[in-house]
Chain A
Amino acid sequence: MSHTALRLDAPGDAAGGVLVIGYGNTLRSDDGVGWHAAGLLADDPRLAGVEIVASHQLTPELSLDMSRASLVILVDASAEGPPGAITVRRLEGDDVGAAGGGGGVTSHHVGPGVLLSLARDLYGAAPDAFVVSVGTATMELGEELSPPVAAALPAIADAVVGLVAAHRRSPG
């Protein structure tokens, strides 16, 4: 099987495997880059067996899915950095207040760090977690990615594949 299962918003059981969550609002141009990346990753043969989730935003139940994975990768748009620039950083469980890792007290959205903390506090799990951030050019109403962000999609896929490969090579 070369295809992974792409699921909408409600992933199930990553079962000790790898979970990739691409999220964003596809009606807000570059804000949807995580979602677009998820669509690309779902058809990437290098990610066979990886669970790929496309989601509008992060919500608390994703912590349950994260708790069942050994590696979690979140792909999101960022207002920081040049358009199309990719930044990868490790996410820590206490990273609830840092830019991009917080948001726990903001609107209906919860941040990646909050989800990781919930996975730890409620389910006793501590998966490796990374955030792949992509610099944006515009977040105005629109369904298309800007040219530099669209051009970055293959490199986003490579970044995710690199993280998965490193995880698979690591002992234990």
Chain B
Amino acid sequence: MSRTIVIDPVTRIEGHSKITIQLDDRGEVVDARFHVTQFRGFERITQGRPVHEMPALMARICGICPVSHLIASAKAVDDILAVEPPPTGVDLRRIINLGQIVQSNSLSFFHLSSPDLLFGFDADPAVRNILGVARQNPQLAKDGIGLRKWGQQIIEWLGGKRIHPEGIVPGGMATPLTAEVRDRILAGVPEAIAAVERAIAWYKTDMLRWEDEAATFGNFRSAFMSLVDREGNVDHYGGWLRVIDADGKYLADRVDPKLFNDYIGEAVEPWSYLKSTYWKAMGYPDGIYRVGPLARVNVAERMGTPRADEELEKFRWRVGRVAGSSFHYHYARLIDTLHSVEKIEELLRGPDILSKHVRSTAGINRNEGIGVSEAPRGTLMHHYKVDDDGIVLWANLIIATGHNNMAMNRSVLQVARRHVKGETIAEGMLNRVEAVIRCYDPCLSCSTHALGQMALQIQLLAPDGKVLDELSR
């Protein structure tokens, strides 16, 4: 008789989800699925809203990466207005987007994943958490908090201080940058760089310890997708879509992001509310690809800033030109963060960064618009249709977690096959299944936190749904 192990819900990811692991008669894993059980209704509630409201409304989707949705949304509305923001407006958007990358990447690495890396996957969960990190390695915890704080300040200073952020608007930015704010941000750059470099040094020292884990931690062949600029450097704001295969060969390059529908399909499975995207040319489910920090360092030729490029060279020396294991999201996330800090400084030192021309204005000139940017977790796509008065008729959001959905399922299966044997559900196995999901840092972002702490629950189910065994902590 086959059985199903259910891990419900997954801790330290955003939103609600569960994992089921299907066993055969011999207790061997035959399938594994990452279920997202929380319904996302944001596309529905946008209907009937004036399109100018969309960026601010979309920012409220997520408490972790509101700016990412602001950016993609504002770009989609730019498209509907048929306007090009002034160059300084674009640079300011780039800076605030990179501030978002810094703070979100830092949350993922320092506060969610570093407990696993510091204490090991088999450590007691009572210790293996952010408080444990604060006691065992306070500098690591402080660096994470410092980077988040700096990134958040950039968002606040550029994005506006009121409840509904007003800084990023259709056509550009609401207000120009002042010299005072520029200098305040720049003053934090040296410490931000030092904090990331300390984390990279710590990670590299510790990395050998995890070689065995990395081999089965979502280690498989897949494509990767990211935005790149005209030189092939990482571009978090614009540029072109590039997709490579597991050997680094281009599947597509210099693709206008507004044409993504020609290349990317969306599949829906009855067991999850989270859509699975796939590379159309390879079909579903073979067209699996990954996005996010690992994809960015794999897809780009270079990061495009000196310190990050130096680290990227070491990364490739250690794990290869195209890293296949999702374990390396951690390392890639740190390099991505270092690049973001450097790029913020570069942009702030630009000769026209204090220009007063930061916004273009126009009315409704198109009935459809698409905005694409790189969010912390990967490529983010907003697609809207409006009527002649600019009222939203339809919206479709493809979030990074959707791009990674098939890869997360594949990763869970691989980890489960290694660590689940028979009827014994060891804590270390659960930790690893959860941890491999956390590599992607999925953001399901529709949770109601007031429901309190979600307990970790594991159920062993018979084919008829009867609970054979149950474990929780």
Contact = CB atoms under 8 A, between A and B. Distances in A.
Interface of A: 5-10, 12, 24-28, 31, 35, 38-39, 54-57, 59-61, 63-64, 76-79, 96-97, 99-100, 102-111, 114, 117-118, 121-122, 136, 139, 141-142
Contact of B155 (A9, A31, A54, A117): A9
Given A27-B60, A79-B451, A111-B453, A35 B135 contact: no
Given A9-B152, A106-B454, 10 more contacts: A8-B160, A27-B42, A55-B63, A59-B63, A79-B451, A100-B452, A108-B112, A114-B130, A121-B138, A142-B45
Interface string B446-464: 1111111110000000000
Given A27-B61, A105-B12, A8 B165 contact: yes
A25 B145 contact: no
B156 A10 contact: yes
A83 to B, nearest CB: 12
Contacts of A60: 107, 110-111, 130, 144-145, 148
A57 B449 contact: yes
Interface string B237-264: 0000000000000000000000000000
Contacts of B148: 59-61
B14 A107 contact: yes
A39 to B, nearest CB: 6
Contacts of B134: 117-118, 121-122
B454 A139 contact: no
Contacts of B50: none
- The DSSP consensus for interface residues of chain A is loop
Interface of B: 11-15, 41-42, 44-45, 60-64, 66, 103, 107, 110-112, 125, 129-131, 134-135, 138, 141-142, 144-145, 148-149, 152-153, 155-156, 159-163, 165, 443, 446-454
A167 to B, nearest CB: 25
Nearest to A33: B450
B149 to A, nearest CB: 4
Contacts of B112: 108
Contacts, number: 151
15 contacts: A10-B149, A25-B60, A39-B163, A56-B63, A60-B111, A60-B145, A60-B148, A97-B453, A99-B452, A99-B453, A102-B453, A104-B131, A105-B12, A105-B129, A107-B15
A135 to B, nearest CB: 10
Contacts of B131: 96, 104, 114, 117-118, 121
Contacts of A31: 448-450
A103 B448 CA distance: 12
A122 to B, nearest CB: 5
B163 A8 contact: yes
A106 B452 CA distance: 9
Nearest to A113: B131
Contacts of A59: 63-64, 107, 148
B335 to A, nearest CB: 21
B110 to A, nearest CB: 8
A61 to B, nearest CB: 4
B451 to A, nearest CB: 5
